[in-house]
Amino acid sequence: MGVSCKRLEMIREIQAPKIAKALKIDELETRIGLNQELGLKSPGDTRWSSHYKTLLNVMDLFSAIVNVLLIIGKNGSSDDKAKAQGVLYSIESFGFIFMAQLMTTIFGYTNYLCLALQRRDQDIINAMRLVALTKDQLQKLRDVGWEIQLNKVISICNNLGIVVLDMEAQYIPQGRSKRFVQDVSYLHHFRVDVFIKVIDLLLQELDNRFDEVNMELIRCMACFNPNDNFSSFDKEKVLKLATFYPSDFSNCELMAIEYQLDIFIEDVKNDSDFQNLQDIGSLLMKLVETKRGVAYPLVFLLIKLI
C-alpha cells in the first residue's frame, strides 16, 4: 500500500468521512500541525524511528487498510486478490495485533535513544544516560508489564472486532502445522516465547553494544568535548581515560599528564581560537593549527587516541 498511489488514494477516500464526522462532533481539534496525513513507508527505506512512526500509522489506519484489502481481494487482479486475501487473513488476528502492539511499545521506549545516537551534535553524557534509562524501562516492562500489555491487545482486538484467543487453550500456529511447535498454551507462547524472549534479545543486544567498560570509556572521552568552553571537562575522568591505554602511557607519563592537563585546560579556556569548537575532531585540528600539540604532547596523544 505504501508504494501504490492508487491504494493510498483509496485510504484517503475511506478516511475522509471519518475525519469529517470526528470534526463535526468535536472529537478532533483543528489547527496548523494537527491531524497531518499519515503515511505507510517501505520498510527498507527507513530507520528505527521511521519504523516506529509506520507502526503507529498502521494501527491508526487499521480499519482503512482492512477496507482497502477487502476491495483489492474482491476486485483486483488474480495475483493481487490472492496477496490481499493472505495479508488480510494475517492482520485480522490476535497474533498480529499482539506483535504490532509489542513492537510499538518497544520502539516507543527505544525511539528517544535511537534519535539521540543519530544526532551529530549529541551530548554524549545524556546519550549514555538514555542507554541506562532505556535498559531499565525494558527490564521493567519484562518484569511487570505483561498484564498491561495483554490488556492493551485485548482492548484493541475488541475495538476492531478481532477474536480474542482463549489464553489457556493449546497454542495452534497460524498457517503452520501444530506438529512442528511445542505443546504449550497460548499464554505460554505469547508471554514466554514472544514477549519475554523478544525483550531479552533486545536487552542482550544493548548490553553487548553498551557494556559498562564501553560506557565508562565513552563518558571519559566526552570530558574532552570543547563545546561551551570545555564545560564537560573533568580531570579525574580524563586521567582515568589514559589508564585505558597502558601500551601508550608509561607509569611516569600517567603521573606527568596530570600537571600537563592543568596547564592545557587553562590555556585553551582563555584562548579565543578555541571558543567556538563543537567536537573533539575540530579540537584536534585546532591543536595542530596552533602547534599546541607540540606544547602538550601527552594531552595531544590522548586526544588522538580518542
- What the block records as the C-alpha cell of 225 is 568535548
C-alpha span between 282 and 286 (Å, rounded): 6
Q: What is the average per-residue pLDDT within 20-38? A: 46
Q: What is the average per-residue pLDDT within 135-151? A: 96
At 198, give phi and psi (nearest 5°).
-65, -45
**Confidence label for 145 from pLDDT (cuts 50, 70 and 90):** very high
pTM recorded for the entire structure? 0.69
Write the CB contacts of 39 (distance below 8 Å, at least 6 apart in sequence).
2, 8, 54, 57
**Confidence label for 289 from pLDDT (cuts 50, 70 and 90):** very high
Task: Quick: pLDDT tens for 84-106.
Answer: 888 888 899 999 999 999 999 99
Q: Is the pLDDT of residue 257 over 90?
A: yes
Task: Quick: pLDDT tens for 69-86.
Answer: 888 888 877 788 888 888
Q: CA 68, 73, 76: angle at the middle one, nearest 5?
A: 90
Q: Is the pLDDT of residue 196 over 90?
A: yes
Task: Quick: pLDDT tens for 197-223.
Answer: 999 999 999 999 888 888 888 888 888
Closest CA to 281 of 294, 262, 289: 289
Other residues' Cβ atoms within 10 Å of the Cβ of residue 28: 14
C-alpha span between 276 and 227 (Å, rounded): 7
Q: What is the average per-residue pLDDT within 7-23? A: 58
